[in-house]
Amino acid sequence: MKLAAKCCRALLGASAALLLAMPPAHAERFSFAAFGDLPYTDIERAELPQLIDAMRDAEVAFAVHVGDMKHGSTPCDDVTLQDFRDLLAGAPFPSLFVPGNNEWVDCERRSAGAFDPLERLDKLRSLYFAKAESLGTTPFSAVRQSDADFTHGAYQEHLRWQRGPVLFLTLNVPGSDNHYGSQREPSTEYRQRMSAVRDWLDAGFAEAQRKSLPAIVIFMHANPDFEAFAAGTPPRAYSELLYALRTAVLGFSGEVLLIHGDTHVMRVDRPLHDTNGETIERFRRAEVFGSPIPGWLEITVDTEAERLMRIRPRPLRDED
């Protein structure tokens, strides 16, 4: 009996040591990439494979292009839209796309081919969002708003997925004027899409709350002008988004990271204020590199680190 007890104690001690040596079952670490507002030139298009290679070498879990995959004066023809889609589809990791203004809102410009913006948006949906999954050679499944909420059945481009403890959302909120229009009242398209945007935002935060997730990451194209919002004069094209975003963030106990493009100024800051004018520390904004500087952001999620999400700028060249 004494021998059996000694063996039992030894076994328990070894098991305890093994458990202490193992990381917690919930521990997770991964990185993802964000880039956008390029390529605007043939040279930048030729450099894109180098960006993809850098992301591959960093072993990113996935990459998101936040819109404007061409210059505003480049034709919005099918060849251009298909070319970038083929690039993302051939990436050696899951890749996703968020529409920007240059590939649909501004396509009515004569220099861009004088296309109907809504027809171009439908073309983007058929090319990039035909399936409820990412692009890339190893795609993953994603929830489309068009499938999850039949009242917004057109919005295939609004995606949601989860990786580890983080919920990810994409929103079709393009730069320029968010297709608000030149009249005093917003365009019909704007009203319908922003209704879908608000509902998708609310649904995402509700999902994160239900699962007790500690973080949400939102991707969209537009810089909504947080500075003007803090000054009490939000742009009319982004006002309802900013109010909805602030309400959602204040009702959520975890971290929120908004990643966007549009103004081509790479930055990471905390520009969102509460109703008392105080900075909301749990909210961060990261704007990606944009033409003429090729680069990407590497965001690392580490459940064992002091900060859950760490953002690292990755310019293509050191001199950038």
Q: If DSSP codes are grouped into helix, strand and coil, which group holds residue 83? A: helix
The β-bridge partners of 287 are 260, 267
Does the pLDDT at position 7 exceed 80? no
Does the pLDDT at position 3 exceed 60? no
* Residue 319 confidence (pLDDT): 54
What is the average pLDDT across 149-176?
A: 97
The answer to which of 9-13, 133-137, 207-211, 308-312 has the lowest mean pLDDT is 9-13
* Tens-place pLDDT, residues 243-283: 999 999 999 999 999 999 999 999 999 999 999 999 999 99
pLDDT band for position 18 (50/70/90)?
very low
Which residue, among 59, 31, 53, 98, has the nearest Cα to 294 in the 3D structure?
53
Omega within 30 of 0 (cis) for the link into 174: no
Does the pLDDT at position 13 exceed 50? no
* Residue 27 confidence (pLDDT): 84
What domains are there in the chain, each with its CATH number? 29-315 (3.60.21.10)
The β-bridge partners of 30 are 301
pLDDT band for position 20 (50/70/90)?
very low
Q: How far apart are CA 66 and CA 44, in angstroms?
A: 16
Does the pLDDT at position 49 exceed 80? yes
- Mean residue pLDDT of the chain comes to 92
Which residue, among 290, 286, 227, 289, has the nearest Cα to 259 in the 3D structure?
286
Q: How far apart are CA 26 and CA 13, in angstroms?
A: 23
pLDDT band for position 61 (50/70/90)?
very high
**Phi, psi (rounded to 5 degrees) for 314:** -130, 80
The answer to which of 10-14, 153-157, 208-212 has the lowest mean pLDDT is 10-14
What is the average pLDDT across 27-46?
A: 96
The answer to which of 100-104, 107-111, 180-184 has the lowest mean pLDDT is 180-184
